[in-house]
Every structure is written in C-alpha cells, then in structure tokens.
C-alpha cells in the first residue's frame, strides 16, 4: 500500500518553514555544528528524491533491509540543508513518514561534490527517541544539473541513487532503457538460510533492457530482457517464467510521481540457497533527464525480482540512439562511488558484513594520456582495450576525504576496461573488466586482481553516466560514475 500522496516540491512558505525547522534542529546540537555557507542557488525550492535502501543501510544500529520501504531525500540547496525520510509502517516505533537524518548541506570545491553533515539522527525505537550526538561529517553527494537525480552516501552508509520523479513519464512511442541490478550480498550455502534474500550472479539478473510507454496514469513495461553477468538469458521456470511485459500505474506518492508495479508477478528464485517465491510491490522513478531507478519492494522473505533488477532494485539509462564514441567515454573525467555488497551470515548478524562504499574519481587531467601516477598500477593491469583509470581518496577518521587531494582527483588504484560496445545494443558493454589495486581502501586481499563486469553508458542532462556491476570471488561490486568535465 502506497503512503499518502504529497507534492514533490515545497511552496515558498513551506521552504522558509523548512529552513527555520532545520535551524531549530541544529541549534539543539550543543554547538557541534559550525555555521554553513549555502551553496550557489541552483533550485528555487527543496527537491525531493526517491531512493531505494541498499544492502548495508542501518540507522542507530538497526538494519533497514528487510523491514523498510523506499526512502526519500530532500535537498535544500538554497537553505543549505538536507533530510532523509523513511516510511516504515511498524507501530509503535514508527507509523508513516519519519525524518531519520537531517543536517547542513554545502557545496565544495571538489569537482561538484556536496558535503552532508548528520546533525540530527532519529533512532526508531519503541520510545521514539531523537538521538543527538556530535555531528557526523563526511557525507557526500553528487547532484545532476537541474536536480534530475544523483548519488548520495551518508556517513557510514552505502551509496544510493537519487531520482527526482517530478512528473509521470509521457511517451506514446516506446523509450528503451538499459539497466543494471543494484546488488545484494552473494549467497553462501553455509550461512544463508531459506528465506534470506541474496544476489547470485550465476542465475539472477545482472543487467537488461525494457521498453517504456506511458500515457496519463498508465505505464507499460514491454520487451523486458534479463541477463546474468555471463550474458545468459534469465527466463525463470516453466511454471513461473520471467514476464516480458508488465503494467504499472503512475501518480503522486510520498516519493514523487512514481510508477507502482503491483505484486502481480511470482517468479521462482533459481538460486537454491534462499529458495521460495515472492510477489512484492515495486516502485520505479524516472527523472526528467531519463534516469531510471527501481526499488523492487524487498521484503523479509526471499525476493528474486519483481520487474527489472534482482537485488534491491535497478538503476538505468535511456538507450542511446546510436553507437557511443567509446574513446570519448574513456577520455572523460568522472566522480562517483564504488560499492561492495559484502557477505551475509544470519548467525552473526541481521545485516551484511564486509560491505564497503567509497567515493572515487576516474579519468585524470590530460586524459586519455596515462598519468604518471598510474604507471606502476598500469604495469600490473597490462594494456586495456578501452580503459579508464581512477581510484579512491585519502581517509580521515574512516571517511572519504576528497579535500586532501590538491587537484580534486583521487589515487590510481582502480581501472575499468569497458571492452567493446555491443553491436546490437548501443551503450552496453557486456564484457567489461574491473581491476582493483592492492592499495584500494576496501581491498582486503591487498593484492591486485581483476574480475568480470557489465557496464551501461549514456547521457543524463549533459552528463555522461557509466553504471557498472561486477563480481569477484568474495562479493558483488557496483560502480556509479557521472562526468565532471
């Protein structure tokens, strides 16, 4: 059941009240928050973003995965504040909307990044206590021009995509989207019991495509194609085949003007570890620039897929009308995030362990020429077909610290080799490879290694976007990049 509808942007009076509210909240933090200079004015009112919960998300030590619904973020670029809201229906701890994190938001000089500081945290306990603490710094976000979407990583949390579903899509002719799964952890036969969700790259959807048509409140998803990481078609079983067409309905919700996909699909999970079937309700947001984000309604029971992604959802791009210039992709500079899904043990915890999420930059000044900082790493990777070098940033108190970089570019301990573009699908790179250097902050093996991946690329409101999903021997890895030059 969808929450009560509300507008996706606030009127001027609400905007002023919102700023005053944040000022009041921050004033109760014992002076732990320094004054914030608002970023340059880029929007007239706070912008609401829909965002799925990603595996590893917690709040006050409580895991949201398996017990929570879609979340929203509101960014107030004018007032310099943000808030994260959940919609859990679990009385007495929470009924309906609840702001769980809020604080100042400020522009930086580091290539379009925003800094987010958690000054107020609401821990949804039975007593409904607001927990104050010294402000948590180190939150980071990227907003697309015109606030059509972006990426956000709160302190200690995994990166999550943001989509501004300001209006229902209107396209009588099919618009093709390509997408990659937002992954869960890998299944482990000895630690995952029946009923625990996971993502198995051998059998579950890693990427795919869909044709979307929309008129009024009616939205149709047709010609849905699902593929595993190795490129095998995902068809389900004879009794419960993967659907090729799904009907949805678009309208105003707490998350914006989002598309609801009723729990009409029951697909047998081909991965034998979790087992079971599920028919959750999915939510899809499509931004004005074409960014597509799906939350597939992950529940406490095993979830294989509802419509697109097989993990916690999917992130997608409009399929380019013609083949992309791969040389332009590899010659650009990017900012983004690298997410590792980790592992899961029901015996040890109710949330995954070993997951990671870190800011990263790819491409360097002077690209495509290989910078000297990459010479030793490039010697380990060898020649790349269509390579982009990049890496993480120095750490400060366990948080990514891009301000420590003199030029806004990070280390050189990651590389993406896109491989060749699929001849039948513009913007799809089905045989990509990721190289992870021994110095990358989340590389626990501390050895340079490579693993297979799939990538999609396209345009989002003047930005080039690359979304990638891969898997090594220990966990899935997702990389989300937006061009900055």
* pLDDT tens digits, one per residue of 66-83: 445 678 999 999 899 999
Q: Report cis status (omega within 30 of 0) of the bond before 136.
A: no
374 and 415 inside one domain: yes
Neighbours of 404 (CB within 10 A): 12
Q: Is the pLDDT of residue 20 over 80?
A: no
pLDDT band at 17 (very low <50, low <70, confident <90, very high): very low
Round to whole Å and give the CA distance between 304 and 119. Answer: 37
Q: Could you tell me the residue range of the domain that residue 128 belongs to?
A: 12-160
pLDDT at 369: 65
Asked which of 318, 352, 371 is the last residue of a domain, the reply is 318
101 and 131 inside one domain: yes
Q: Is the pLDDT of residue 55 over 80?
A: yes
The answer to whether 128 touches 118, Cβ cutoff 8 Å, is no
Q: Which two tokens stand for residue 411?
A: 């280390």
Asked which of 139, 160, 181 is the last residue of a domain, the reply is 160
pLDDT digits (tens, 9 = 90+) for 122-132: 875 666 667 66
Nearest alpha-carbon partner for 4 in 82, 97, 77: 97
Q: Is the pLDDT of residue 394 over 80?
A: yes
Q: What is the mean pLDDT of residues 369-394?
A: 91
pLDDT digits (tens, 9 = 90+) for 112-123: 899 999 998 887
Domain total in the chain: 3
pLDDT at 90: 59
Q: Is the pLDDT of residue 277 over 70?
A: no
Round to whole Å and give the CA distance between 36 and 39. Answer: 9
Q: Which two tokens stand for residue 368?
A: 């495509």
41 and 179 inside one domain: no
The answer to whether 60 touches 123, Cβ cutoff 8 Å, is yes
Q: Is the pLDDT of residue 388 over 90?
A: yes
Q: Is the pLDDT of residue 387 over 80?
A: yes
pLDDT band at 408 (very low <50, low <70, confident <90, very high): confident
What proportion of the chain, given as a percentage, has pLDDT over 70? 74
- Interstrand relation of 399-400 and 356-362 (parallel, antiparallel or unpaired): unpaired
41 and 86 inside one domain: yes
286 and 336 inside one domain: no
Q: Is the pLDDT of residue 341 over 70?
A: yes
Q: What is the mean pLDDT of residues 250-267?
A: 79
Flag whether 4 is in a domain: no
Q: Is the pLDDT of residue 469 over 50?
A: yes
176 and 152 inside one domain: no
pLDDT at 318: 97
Round to whole Å and give the CA distance between 353 and 343. Answer: 5
pLDDT band at 311 (very low <50, low <70, confident <90, very high): confident
Name the more confident of 188 and 410.
Answer: 410
pLDDT at 196: 62
176 and 307 inside one domain: yes
Q: Is the pLDDT of residue 232 over 60?
A: yes
The answer to whether 390 touches 361, Cβ cutoff 8 Å, is yes
Q: What is the mean pLDDT of residues 304-323?
A: 88
How much is the mean pLDDT over the chain?
Answer: 81
Q: Is the pLDDT of residue 88 over 90?
A: no
pLDDT at 139: 96
In angstroms, what is the C-alpha Rg of the chain? 21
pLDDT at 274: 44
146 and 211 inside one domain: no
348 and 469 inside one domain: yes
Cα 213 to chain center, whole Å? 24
Q: Is the pLDDT of residue 278 over 80?
A: no
Flag whether 91 is in a domain: yes
Q: Is the pLDDT of residue 306 over 50?
A: yes
Round to whole Å and give the CA distance between 238 and 240. Answer: 6
pLDDT band at 456 (very low <50, low <70, confident <90, very high): very high
pLDDT band at 368 (very low <50, low <70, confident <90, very high): low
434 and 478 inside one domain: yes
320-354 burial: b if 16+ Cβ within 10 Å, else e: beeebebeebbebbbbbbbbbbbbbbeeeeebbeb
Q: Which of 337-346, 440-449, 461-470 has the least mean pLDDT?
A: 337-346
177 and 152 inside one domain: no
Q: Is the pLDDT of residue 12 over 80?
A: no
Name the more confident of 65 and 74.
Answer: 74
Q: Which of 19-28, 136-145, 194-203, 235-244 has the least mean pLDDT?
A: 19-28
Name the more confident of 172 and 29.
Answer: 172
Asked which of 278, 300, 318 is the last residue of a domain, the reply is 318
Flag whether 2 is in a domain: no
Round to whole Å and give the CA distance between 173 and 167. Answer: 17
| Distance (Å) of CA 23 to CA 18, 79, 103 | 9, 9, 9
- pTM above threshold 0.85: yes
């Amino acid at each position: 059941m969808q929450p009560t509808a509300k507008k996706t942007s606030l009127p001027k009076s609400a905007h002023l009240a919102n700023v005053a509210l944040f000022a009041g909240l921050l004033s109760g933090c014992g002076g732990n928050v320094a004054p914030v200079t608002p970023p340059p004015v880029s929007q007239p009112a706070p912008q609401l973003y829909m965002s799925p919960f990603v595996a590893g998300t917690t709040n006050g030590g409580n895991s949201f995965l398996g017990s929570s619904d879609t979340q929203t973020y509101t960014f107030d670029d004018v007032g310099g504040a943000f808030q994260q809201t959940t919609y859990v229906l679990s009385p007495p701890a929470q009924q309906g909307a609840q702001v769980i994190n809020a604080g100042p938001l400020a522009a930086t000089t580091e290539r379009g990044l925003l800094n987010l500081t958690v000054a107020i945290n609401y821990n949804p306990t039975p007593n409904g206590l607001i927990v104050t603490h010294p402000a948590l710094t180190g939150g980071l976000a990227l907003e697309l021009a015109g606030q059509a979407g972006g990426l956000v990583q709160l302190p200690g949390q995994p990166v999550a995509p943001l989509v501004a579903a300001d209006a229902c899509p209107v396209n009588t002719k099919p618009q093709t989207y390509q997408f990659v799964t937002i992954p869960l952890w890998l299944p482990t036969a000895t630690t995952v019991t029946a009923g625990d969700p996971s993502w198995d790259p051998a059998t579950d959807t890693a990427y795919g495509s869909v044709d979307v048509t929309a008129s009024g409140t009616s939205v149709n998803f047709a010609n849905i194609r699902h593929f595993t990481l190795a490129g095998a078609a995902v068809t389900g079983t004879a009794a419960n085949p993967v659907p090729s067409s799904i009907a949805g309905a678009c309208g105003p919700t707490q998350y914006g003007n989002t598309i609801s996909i009723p729990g009409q699909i029951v697909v047998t999970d081909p991965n034998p570890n979790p087992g079971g079937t599920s028919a959750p309700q999915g939510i899809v947001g499509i931004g004005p620039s074409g960014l597509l984000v799906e939350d597939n309604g992950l529940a406490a029971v095993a979830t294989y897929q509802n419509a697109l992604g097989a993990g916690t959802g999917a992130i997608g791009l409009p399929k380019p009308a013609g083949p992309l210039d791969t040389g332009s992709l590899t010659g650009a500079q990017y900012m983004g995030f690298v997410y590792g899904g980790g592992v899961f043990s029901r015996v040890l915890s109710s949330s995954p362990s070993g997951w990671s999420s870190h800011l990263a930059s790819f491409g360097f000044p002077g690209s495509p020429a290989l910078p000297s900082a990459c010479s030793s790493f490039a010697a380990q990777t060898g020649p790349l077909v269509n390579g982009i070098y990049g890496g993480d940033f120095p750490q400060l108190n366990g948080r990514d610290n891009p301000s420590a970089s003199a030029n806004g570019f990070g280390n050189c301990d990651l590389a993406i080799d896109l491989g060749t573009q699929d001849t039948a699908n513009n913007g799809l790179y089905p045989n990509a490879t990721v190289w992870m250097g021994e110095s990358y902050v989340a590389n626990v093996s501390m050895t340079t290694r490579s693993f297979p991946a799939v990538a999609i690329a396209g345009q989002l409101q003047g930005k080039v976007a690359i979304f990638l999903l891969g898997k090594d021997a220990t966990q899935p890895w997702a990389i989300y990049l937006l061009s900055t030059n």
